Amino acid sequence: MMKTTATLINSVKTLKIRSWCLVTSVSKNVNVLSRRDAHSTIDPKDFFQVPNYNKVMDSFWDPNGIFKALHSLNYIRLPFVRDGLVDIASGEKLSTCLKGKKILEVGYGAGLFSEGLAKYGAEVTGVDTCEKMFQMAVDHSSKNKRLANNKPTYLLTNIEDHSMSYPDTYDAVVVSEVIEHVAQKELFVECCVRATKPGGKLFFTTPSRTRFAQFTLIYGFENILKCYPKGAHLYYSFMTPDELKFMLETNDCHVEDIKGYIYNPFSNHWSWIKHKQFSFAMEAVKSPNIENNNN
């Protein structure tokens, strides 16, 4: 009897250990930085949250400076969002193609992407937590004559607070080269979805968590070719397409498109590609509010 009891106890211990290992393994695949019980998505250790970033951000709007890769990224990410929201008829003016669309950019930086969306005619709101970036964005848009009648609205706040104040508000929420810089990614995605209208779209672009991206983006582009500020990216903060898709689907969204893209530092040119080993773009739609549709 004692042997049987001892065997049973050992079996239970083994089961607990195996179960713990299984849960740990799954947690790693879904990104251990994601916690629903978290209260902030700001990562204080991220490059863009620490003082050393102030040394390089002054050159943000220089198209040939250290952020030139972000400038050239507009050539593919702007059409990616535009085509996901509207069909462009032949001869239609690009300056009005997104007129009437309310778009939220989460993590606008100095306003590079927000200004591009505003030039399409969209009503753009941006949220960011960096005071210096906020000042740069406001200052640059006020001097841009092409935005004289349609300046983006920049807010110095986080997505958690904004989504609570403005739920179900935006036709589209865009998050470009940002989610790899935040903590609590699950909370972050949840807040982005909350701010989106039922039936609205969400657009993400971000590096892939692959050894290929680690070698090329961090070792090659940051340390050797200086295409990005050194230390701007951390491999463990990258995501896989499956992880981001899972988080969106958990928040009642349907992922409509996932595609890869890559940067050529020698031509300063971005291209869409079949594989997603370097970076990926994701388009999703928030499920419509059935109750409202029936009224």
Task: Please give the pLDDT value at position 22.
Answer: 33
**For 117-138, what is the mean pLDDT?**
94
| Residue 52: band (very low, low, confident or very high) from pLDDT cuts 50, 70, 90 | low
Per-residue pLDDT at 53? 56
The pLDDT of residue 107: 95
Which pLDDT belongs to residue 36? 42
Look at 17-26, 37-46, 146-155, 181-190 and tell me which has the smallest mean pLDDT: 17-26
142-156, 219-233, 247-261: segment of lowest average pLDDT? 219-233
Task: Answer yes or no: is pLDDT of 25 > 90.
Answer: no
pLDDT on residue 99:
94
What confidence tens digit (pLDDT) does each residue in 160-199 have?
999 999 999 999 999 999 999 998 999 999 999 999 999 9
Please enumerate in sequence order all residues whose Cβ is within 8 A of that of 9, keeping only pairs 6 or more positions apart, or say none. Answer: none
Q: Is the pTM of this model over 0.85?
A: no
E strands, 98-245, in order: 102-106, 123-128, 153-156, 170-176, 196-207
Burial per residue of 26-51, b for 16 or more beta-carbon CB atoms within 10 angstroms, e otherwise:
eeeebbebbeeeeeebbbeebbbeee
